[in-house]
Homo-oligomer: A and B are copies of this chain.
Amino acid sequence: MSHPTTTGKWLKLCLAGLLGSLIHLPAIASTPPKLGNSQFVDPFIGTGGDGHTFPGAVVPFGMMQLSPDTEAVSRGVDPQPEIYKRCAGYHHDDTTMLGFSHTHFSGTGHSDLGDLLIQPMVGVAHTKPGTVNSPESGYRSRFSHDREWAEPGYYAVDLLDYDIHAEVSTTVRAGIHRYTFSRGNTGHVLMDLTHSIYNFSNKVIWSDARVVDEQTLLLHRRTNGWAKNRPTYFAVQFSRPFDDIELINEDNARYRCNGCLDKGGNKHSTIVNPAEQYTAGKAIKVMAHFNKPTDKPLLIKVGMSAVSHANALENLQAEIPHWNFEQVRSEARSAWDHELAGIDMQGELKEKRQFYTAMYHALQAPSIYQDVNGQYLGVDGAIHKAEGFTNYTLFSLWDTYRALHPLLTYVDPARVNDMITSMLVHYQQSPNKLLPIWSFQGHETWTMIGYHAVSVIADAYLKGIRGFDVELAKEAILATANHPRFDAIPEYKQFGYVPMDVLPESVSITLEYAYDDFTIARFFEALGDKDNAEEFYRRSQFYRNVFDKRVNFMRGLDSKGNWDPDFDPEEAKYMGPFTEGNSYQYTFYVPHDVQGLIDLFGGDKPFVERLDTLFTKELSLEKIKEHEDIAGLIGQYAHGNEPSHHIAYLYNYAGEPWRTQQRIRQIMDTLSSDKPDGLAGNDDVGQMSAWYVFSAIGFYPVAPGDLTYAIGAPQVPQASFRLANGKTFAMTTEGLSQDNLYIQSVTLNGKALKRSYVTHDDIMQGGKLHFVMGNKPNKAWAKAKSQRPPSSTEGR
């Protein structure tokens, strides 16, 4: 069983609880799920396959993600496990669990985090993780999906090797653990600061642990992972005093003299005070011991900060001042119910499960990154105080500018302003004076390409979300898009494309710059700045320069004007001219000027033929072996990675929207489900899920910033947006079924809608979009040029 979403499952859960352990039944039975939309969320979706989501506890956009890790890189573990599979620490295939760590990415294709692992035990107090085949050789415990529960803001599991029922829940910056022991004279709680997700096995730069009193610890570590020098501070409080504690420094010998023991049996010298309740080094673990653990459940509260021990403690005291686990759980659940009410979707339980889980995954990041006192770690490595806004981090922009950020403009526009302000202060604090590329926790990782922050800002501004410093935004956008050093911007401006002899991924970078420039042009156009608008409209057409008309493919071009002689449109070569993709996919990356691209192809017919080829021509895995991110294939189309996300909607632009309707259903049926492996690839910090939310409702932002949405086909019976302006935009269907996948007709507020797109204004004015579905395509609907979604070249 995965989680309690139905009465039947709930009963089964209770039964499992009864059969398994009477001790932890009351906690579960006394808290039946409330009836908000969070009841439909299954946090296990995406934990299988390569979804890379985590099943643990988090609140909407929360700073802490408290979740079980089933496998991770840990010093001394040899061989290291397959790490890509465990980007979120947990994988549904795994059968043993290491414990609970407090920070996780949701859906990323590269990873980091896993800070502060806590694992309760009875019996031998293990300090090493042990192996999968022999979990009893370490602190690792077996677990079973039959004895595991998850709901938004809450996760529970039975640690079978220890007969411990473990539960966790969170607030924004703090978490709470509840461990119910059912046997043993002494319970042990290991806090392992060496545990890490992904990356190098010697990832810990430095760490320390200090005993404040018998119920309070302060912990800290800095890691060199995806972020180069990332500090986390933790304040840990136990619900009862420990009976004994061990501060373990696995490199201890280094700080002690040889051959001299003090009263504690520790080595002594005049430069060590072994009685000090403190240790520091690169391999620090703390083991707390509690006698008579079965007396009552042991609770552990953990506050987190990137700034200081003091802030970690302050965050904890502010957010969980009590010892009421159920209150934390209930408040987390309420926060999710509130957030998930942004869209009221009606349909079958399975559909609701998939839909609200997608929303759940979409509403986790960018995540809050500041302490309750407003302090946060800036990308300049300094501590700042957020004044007049809430600071957010985790900008996976290459992924999320596409659908996630546009989704947020409807379901949580207030946060959009804070997210943009966070990107602007990043720009100000960035020593390179650049908007974020792929940043998290005070660090710019430089991952992926483009400068898509500009798309997010422009889309929001054009939609009227303007609660940020617009002058600063103008400065930041221009500084970024004209940066003298970043990647190949000077050459892009000089040549009109990025020459392949200047930088790898040159074609993808050219195409994505061109789209970003379109959004900049739109932004300055709206501001009345004609010069900048014109300049960036001009740049937005640079995509044409890498289109080889002889083969109708986007293709590498060098600085001397020679096309890539080794061109293979199917090949996705690492550090080739394309980024995590091939030319079949990237040739369609002109989201802002599809008509211009159709013209380059020579008209609708060759364009549609190529789209068909994309979806039908088998892609040899040999061609993409250098990229683990390219997944979820239909022919050459890779739903599991972002460069494909808009492509199924492009038939609309060639007047054949029924083909889009067909493809969307095909993708939904084959690459998406409500099972743990229901995501066809990395969720990518909610982008895949946001694609699902839009597509299920029936339209998609092909080119954020142009304020139009290409209509695909609704996949759920009805859904309505609760808009910030108090209005509701409702989508309804008639006749939708497995067979009735084609649009017969559409009405908007009762009037026939003959175009294959809706606009932002259509949505914000509220009203009703109604689809009549059938099992045969209506090939005449929205076929005319005037009925197709607009492109940037039109009317300009």
Where the two chains meet, the residues of A that have a C-beta atom closer than 8 Å to any C-beta of B are 110, 200, 205-206, 208, 210, 212, 218, 220, 222, 224, 226, 228-229, 254-255, 257, 259-260, 262-263, 268-273, 275-278, 280-281, 308-310, 380-383, 431-432, 437, 444-449, 485-488, 491, 502-505, 574-575, 579
Contacts and interface: CB of A to CB of B under 8 A. Distances in A.
Given A206-B229, A273-B446, A276-B485, 16 more contacts: A205-B222, A206-B206, A206-B224, A218-B431, A228-B281, A229-B280, A257-B575, A263-B503, A270-B449, A270-B505, A273-B444, A275-B486, A308-B383, A309-B380, A309-B381, A309-B382
Contact of A271 (B110, B271, B380, B485): B110
Contact of A504 (B205, B260, B504, B574): B260
A448 B270 contact: yes
Between A229, A255, A281, A491, the greatest number of chain B beta carbons within 10 A of the residue's beta carbon is seen for A229
A212 B431 contact: yes
A447 B257 CA distance: 13
Nearest to A271: B447
Given A200-B254, A277-B431, A488 B575 contact: no
Contacts of A504: 260, 262, 268
Given A270-B579, A381-B309, A449-B270, A280 B228 contact: yes
A487 B275 contact: yes
17 contacts: A200-B254, A205-B206, A205-B222, A206-B206, A206-B229, A228-B255, A257-B575, A260-B575, A262-B502, A263-B502, A269-B575, A270-B446, A270-B448, A271-B446, A273-B432, A277-B431, A308-B381
A373 B30 CA distance: 55
A419 to B, nearest CB: 22
Contact of A575 (B218, B226, B259, B432): B259
Contacts of A273: 432, 437, 444, 446, 486-487
Given A210-B431, A222-B206, A579-B270, A262 B447 contact: no
Contacts of A229: 206, 208, 280
A383 to B, nearest CB: 8
Contacts of A220: 381
Given A224-B206, A309-B381, A504-B260, A277 B579 contact: no
Contacts of A278: 431-432
Contact of A485 (B206, B275, B381, B383): B275
A533 to B, nearest CB: 28
Contacts of A200: 254
Given A310-B382, A575-B260, A272 B503 contact: no
A432 B273 CA distance: 11
A212 to B, nearest CB: 7
A594 B258 CA distance: 36
Contact of A503 (B268, B310, B431, B444): B268
Contacts of A575: 257, 259-260, 268-269
A262 B270 CA distance: 53
Nearest to A446: B273
A257 B573 CA distance: 14
Contacts of A380: 309
Given A205-B205, A382-B310, A271 B226 contact: yes
Nearest to A257: B575
Contacts of A226: 271
Nearest to A380: B309
Contacts of A208: 228-229, 381
A308 B382 contact: yes
Contacts of A432: 273, 276-278
A263 B488 contact: yes
Nearest to A484: B275
Nearest to A449: B270
Contacts of A255: 228
A316 to B, nearest CB: 16
Contacts of A276: 432, 446, 485
A291 to B, nearest CB: 22
Given A205-B206, A276-B432, A309-B380, A445 B486 contact: no
A347 to B, nearest CB: 39
Contacts of A257: 574-575
B110 A503 contact: no
Nearest to A448: B270
Ranked nearest first, the 6 interchain pairs of A and B with the lowest CB-CB distance are A260-B575, A273-B446, A275-B485, A228-B280, A271-B447, A263-B502
A255 B505 CA distance: 19
A447 B268 CA distance: 11
Contacts of A445: 271
Contacts of A263: 488, 491, 502-503
A234 to B, nearest CB: 13
Contact of A270 (B269, B447, B488): B447
Nearest to A508: B270
Contacts of A110: 271
Contacts of A254: 200
Nearest to A262: B503
A87 to B, nearest CB: 14
Nearest to A224: B206
A557 B794 CA distance: 97
A779 to B, nearest CB: 41
Nearest to A269: B575
Nearest to A279: B228
A172 B87 CA distance: 49
A217 to B, nearest CB: 11
A128 to B, nearest CB: 24
A113 to B, nearest CB: 16
Contacts of A308: 381-383
A574 B260 CA distance: 9
Between A380, A446, A485, A491, the greatest number of chain B beta carbons within 10 A of the residue's beta carbon is seen for A446
A220 B228 CA distance: 14
A409 to B, nearest CB: 27
A220 B275 CA distance: 32
A454 to B, nearest CB: 17
Nearest to A259: B575
A218 B309 CA distance: 26
A184 B627 CA distance: 50
A243 to B, nearest CB: 17
Contacts of A444: 273
Nearest to A559: B263
A314 to B, nearest CB: 12
Contacts of A206: 205-206, 222, 224, 229
